[in-house]
Structure 1
Amino acid sequence: MKKIIALIFICAFANLVNAQLLQKKENFTRQDTLRGSITPERDWWDLTYYHLDITVNPDNKTISGKNTIQYKVLQPNQVMQIDLQPPLQLTKVTQNGKELTIKHDGNAHFITLKNQQNIGDINSVIAYYDGKPREAVRAPWDGGISWKKDNNGNHFVASSCQGLGASVWWPNKDHMYDEVDSMLISVEVPKGLTNVSNGRLRSIENKENTTVFHWFVNNPINNYGVNINIGDYANFSEVYQGEKGDLDLNYYVLKDNLEKAKEHFKDTPKMMKAFEHWFGPYPFYEDSFKLVEVPYLGMEHQSSVTYGNQYKKGYLGHDLSGTGWGLKFDFIIIHEAGHEWFANNITNVDIADMWIHEGFTAYSENLFLDYYYGKEAASDYVIGTRRNIQNDRPLIGHYNVNNEGSSDMYYKGANMLHTLRQLVNDDEKWRKILRGLNSNFYHQTVTTKQIENYIAEQSGLELEGFFNQYLRSTKIPVLEYKIEDKKLAYKWSNTVEDFKMPIQVEIDGQTLWITPSIKNQTLKLKSNTSEIKIDRDFYIEVKAL
């Protein structure tokens, strides 16, 4: 039975991880570089505004329309890279009513502009496209559009594209480093269906056989955070009294699930209270917060978080930590909403640094427990998730080729942060660091180094070796010790060269800090039978010699 239960949790965790995270790709192609690097054809212009205006036809699984791309010229150049993935086709691009020449190169399309691009100018192009987008076979991990139907036979459609890229369903500048400042999303769907996208609903336009929903996003948004969700939805809402005032919480669920959702979604205001405490104000008050039911597990789409956890506690009814604490909350509501701070507010420049999204957000799960159930419960949970760690690859991937690091970015990342909290050794100071990250890097894209440097500066700790150990290697520090001649001899092994970390231990009932190194150090003991306990909150291995 224990093996069966373990297998359930392992499978559940595997389902959590984006399929691309599991690939150990080392041979990269030109397309990887075009997708993952800030090419010269991207670097010269800065996104300012999108208007995505599309028609979605669920009957034949097609999307057609256009995206108006407004930008500011940063340096002279006449060639622009726009991304769109086959089988969708970029049919035409215009500027000031003139059709432009397109050179197609796989997923990248190079547009030659006719007008002189002067530094400081605000210009726009319109990209027209149509076709059948890639269908997500196993959303959200493989990316694309889910074309499903609900139990009543109504179309139930949703997008998901993290890792694979937003260009799988609409044309855009598909790199994380440049977030558009604001965006209008206009989606035309068959009459009787509702489309829910990011931001606030600006207007509804009724036509003879279709309805157009216009959603406006007032804040910067990353491309993969943009979404469409189409279904036979019912809507209910509430107002949360948050740190910045009234925050609208809106819920869109299939009509058959309305009463169930009203009860189950009570985790949402609880989540908001805990996360505003730990991370600071919700970053998108102007755009509200929405939880939207979809035909897959869920994703962190900005201000339009998608939900498919079957109205169960835990992860589809299972506890990923094996401690019981994971059944105290709905995993998808807590985890995906946690991304509003880490992924949507603070966004990695390069997907190689995706641990910033997933490590902090996996860690948010135990902070939720900490807020409502206390530190011991939170420690139980995050320590319990260590069993999901594989240590197969470093958490940081390869830069400039759209390559994610190990799936360990979730729970190794969370346990690294939990360890770091112990080193800070001041809960209020640690909370200020987490809140400071979200205010200092508010609505920004960041690198790992920026995050490392900020935490080191604010904590006053020397952390270079610490981060190298946990982010850039697969080694877990081993504390080796032995008791001999009334002395405790101890040292670190299996560490990177510059690793330095003190650790808390209990000796004969007395708690103290020791600072191991790669060389043996000693500490006098009362006797050779002294009892040694290593603080479990540090993510290390212990070896008694």
Structure 2
Amino acid sequence: MPLALAAAAVVSLTAGCTGGVEGTPGSAGLRDPYFPKAGNGGYDVTHYDLTMDVDPASQRIRSTAVITARATQDLSAFNLDLAGLTVGSAQVEGRPAAVNRAGRELTLRPDAEVESHLNKGRTFRTVVHYSGSPLTLTDPDGSKEGWLRTADGSVALGEPVGSMAWFPGNNHPSDKASYDLTVTVPRGLTAVSNGELMSRKVSGATATYHWHTAEPMASYLATLAIGRFDTKASTTPDGIKVFTAVDPAAAAASARTLARIPEIVRWEAERFGPYPFSATGAIVDRPHDSGYAVETQNRPYFPGPPTVGLLVHEMSHQWFGDSVTPASWRDMWLNEGFATYAEWLWEADKEGVPVQRNFDAAFASDDNWAFPPADPPTAADISQAPVYGRGAMVIHKIRQAVDDDRRFFALVEGWTKAHRYGTASTADFTAYVEKTTGQNLTRLWNTWLYGHGRPAPEKS
């Protein structure tokens, strides 16, 4: 197919303080406990504007990334995370910038005229022109992320660090931004991403889709799925836009479960507080297109028809993980513990299975006691059983400590409200719970959140 768009990424300065301050380079990583080179220091991204031509037959892209950011220090240079792909050129504030590559680190050094204005507090835009075949990355646990080839196209999945396989950015959950993604694909294929579909334009042999995500989103939650999809668009009674895209091979088996999206969103809103986004939905590819489901913002991704329980889990992440995002990958249990507990709550409310029964089953499972959920030993462990099952047990122990369901769910809703669209750490959470309950819960944290080994069963 013709690739109409050049690849570019720009950073532009728009306002701020006077120049003349000598800057220093932003750091090449944020020292995350498990991915120390992920993310970059010295700036905070506020918006990504990505324009892409995608040729699914060759699995090649040509792209322009326009990145608006605010300097958090006086900068002489700064980094973007980008794995593979060829950078043609870059500009900072409309002027050419020197570009250096070192593995997955892309260093941009603006010319002297621009550098004098990259002072702390100023807003600037960056443009990088890039192209090539995006990489499939292998995580420490052996799973695949980044750019994955599917049966009839591709899907981009970014948890934990795969987004750098298809666009340059500040690739850490602590830096969230709004997004515009404009993608041109061969006519007959659909390009699905996060947020709301603003337009679809057909021109000759191609179709161009423009997706807009207004609420802040971490880079690991961004997605792009390209293929032949059956799509449906509707609106819930509460005004939330629903968009589903399902591979035709999975459509019949998915229909009944996906029809429950409005019901699930409404139920979770009653439990966790107002739904935090303007859009919802799902992307369903064929089994084996990826090895896992993931909570891509607004529109979770599933490799094959999801069960109701899995849909409840991924939808609850819209509150826990997507709206309230972990400050670092050590805080992953805040995502998965709450999402697992959401499944237990759904089974209690809809299927008559007491939450305590799921707690007891989790307690009995040896897998959940391999390590403390708030302190996985390695990067390969951040998505292992203790983060999910024992994480959910921590939430239930808090509920038992509160000993009042009305107060417990008010606490949960207060948490999602206090950190809506932001990030939070485990320390933020434990401090919030103790302040809200007025209790010293040190013993609970030491036993269930940080303790090694299974405690003795408590007498009923």
- TM-score strictly above 0.5: yes
Q: How has the CA–CA distance of structure 1 residues 51 and 272 changed in structure 2, closer, same or farther, with 3 Å as cutoff?
A: same
Aligned to 2:273: 280
- Partners of 1:333 and 1:183 lie apart in 2 by 24
1:141 aligns with 2:138: no
Is the Cα–Cα contact under 8 Å of residues 275 and 319 in structure 2 kept in the other structure?
yes
Find the residue that maps to 1:431 and give its secondary structure.
helix
Aligned to 1:470: 448
Q: How has the CA–CA distance of structure 1 residues 359 and 92 changed in structure 2, closer, same or farther, with 3 Å as cutoff?
A: same
- Partners of 1:195 and 1:247 lie apart in 2 by 21
- Partners of 1:178 and 1:235 lie apart in 2 by 31
1:310 aligns with 2:310: no
Cα deviations by residue, 1:334-371 (Å, 9 ceiling, x for unpaired): 11111101000110111111111111111111111223
Equivalent positions of 1:107-256 (< 5 A) are 107-114=104-111, 115=114, 116=116, 117-135=118-136, 141-149=143-151, 155-180=152-177, 182-241=178-237, 245-256=238-249
TM-score, normalised to structure 2, is 0.84
Is the Cα–Cα contact under 8 Å of residues 350 and 400 in structure 1 kept in the other structure?
no
Indicate the structure whose relative CO is greater, using CA pairs within 8 Å and at least 6 residues apart.
Answer: 2
Equivalent positions of 1:117-516 (< 5 A) are 117-135=118-136, 141-149=143-151, 155-180=152-177, 182-241=178-237, 245-285=238-278, 288-294=279-285, 295-296=289-290, 297-310=292-305, 313=307, 330-374=308-352, 376-386=353-363, 387=365, 389-397=367-375, 404=382, 407-478=385-456
Partner letter of residue 417 of structure 1? I
Cα deviations by residue, 1:419-464 (Å, 9 ceiling, x for unpaired): 2211111011110011011101111111110011111111222112
- Partners of 1:406 and 1:204 lie apart in 2 by 40
Find the residue that maps to 1:383 and give its secondary structure.
helix
- Partners of 1:475 and 1:166 lie apart in 2 by 35
- Partners of 2:43 and 2:198 lie apart in 1 by 28
Find the residue that maps to 2:414 and give its secondary structure.
helix
- Partners of 2:357 and 2:369 lie apart in 1 by 21
After TM superposition, give the deviation of residue 229 of structure 1 in Å. Answer: 0.8
Partner letter of residue 200 of structure 1? E
Q: How has the CA–CA distance of structure 1 residues 123 and 280 changed in structure 2, closer, same or farther, with 3 Å as cutoff?
A: same
Aligned to 1:17: none
Is the Cα–Cα contact under 8 Å of residues 203 and 215 in structure 1 kept in the other structure?
yes
Cα deviations by residue, 1:77-98 (Å, 9 ceiling, x for unpaired): 1211100113x23332212332
After TM superposition, give the deviation of residue 193 of structure 1 in Å. Answer: 0.1
Aligned to 1:14: none
* Range 41-50 or range 446-455, more displaced: 41-50
Is the Cα–Cα contact under 8 Å of residues 43 and 72 in structure 2 kept in the other structure?
yes
After TM superposition, give the deviation of residue 396 of structure 1 in Å. Answer: 2.8
What is the aligned-residue RMSD (CA, Å)?
Answer: 2.8
Q: How has the CA–CA distance of structure 1 residues 38 and 346 changed in structure 2, closer, same or farther, with 3 Å as cutoff?
A: farther
Question: Larger radius of gyration, structure 1 or 2?
Answer: 1
- Partners of 2:416 and 2:109 lie apart in 1 by 39
- Partners of 1:388 and 1:251 lie apart in 2 by 38
After TM superposition, give the deviation of residue 37 of structure 1 in Å. Answer: 4.6
After TM superposition, give the deviation of residue 266 of structure 1 in Å. Answer: 2.9
Is the Cα–Cα contact under 8 Å of residues 136 and 144 in structure 2 kept in the other structure?
no
- Which structure 1 residue ranges, 5 or more long, are not aligned? 1-29, 150-154, 314-329, 480-502, 504-533, 536-545
Q: How has the CA–CA distance of structure 1 residues 239 and 32 changed in structure 2, closer, same or farther, with 3 Å as cutoff?
A: closer
Is the Cα–Cα contact under 8 Å of residues 93 and 124 in structure 2 kept in the other structure?
no
Q: How has the CA–CA distance of structure 1 residues 401 and 127 changed in structure 2, closer, same or farther, with 3 Å as cutoff?
A: farther
Is the Cα–Cα contact under 8 Å of residues 394 and 405 in structure 1 kept in the other structure?
no
Cα deviations by residue, 1:200-238 (Å, 9 ceiling, x for unpaired): 111123233221111011100010111001111122233
Counterpart selection for 2:63 from 53, 62, 65: 65
Aligned to 1:542: none
- Which structure 2 residue ranges, 5 or more long, are not aligned? 1-27
- Partners of 1:291 and 1:52 lie apart in 2 by 22
- Partners of 1:240 and 1:143 lie apart in 2 by 32
Partner letter of residue 134 of structure 1? L
Q: How high is the sequence identity, in percent, across the aligned residues?
A: 21
Aligned to 1:520: none
After TM superposition, give the deviation of residue 254 of structure 1 in Å. Answer: 2.2
Cα deviations by residue, 1:83-141 (Å, 9 ceiling, x for unpaired): 0113x233322123322112222211221122021333221011222222223689993
After TM superposition, give the deviation of residue 403 of structure 1 in Å. Answer: 8.0
- Partners of 2:158 and 2:131 lie apart in 1 by 18
TM-score, normalised to structure 1, is 0.72
Partner letter of residue 71 of structure 1? A
* Aligned residue pairs, count: 422
Find the residue that maps to 1:340 and give its secondary structure.
coil
- Partners of 2:366 and 2:53 lie apart in 1 by 42
Aligned to 1:101: 98
1:48 aligns with 2:46: yes
- Partners of 1:90 and 1:55 lie apart in 2 by 15
- Partners of 1:142 and 1:378 lie apart in 2 by 33
Is the Cα–Cα contact under 8 Å of residues 393 and 448 in structure 2 kept in the other structure?
no
Is the Cα–Cα contact under 8 Å of residues 396 and 404 in structure 1 kept in the other structure?
no
Find the residue that maps to 1:100 and give its secondary structure.
strand
Partner letter of residue 443 of structure 2? G
Q: How has the CA–CA distance of structure 1 residues 235 and 166 changed in structure 2, closer, same or farther, with 3 Å as cutoff?
A: same
Q: How has the CA–CA distance of structure 1 residues 405 and 215 changed in structure 2, closer, same or farther, with 3 Å as cutoff?
A: closer
Partner letter of residue 166 of structure 1? S
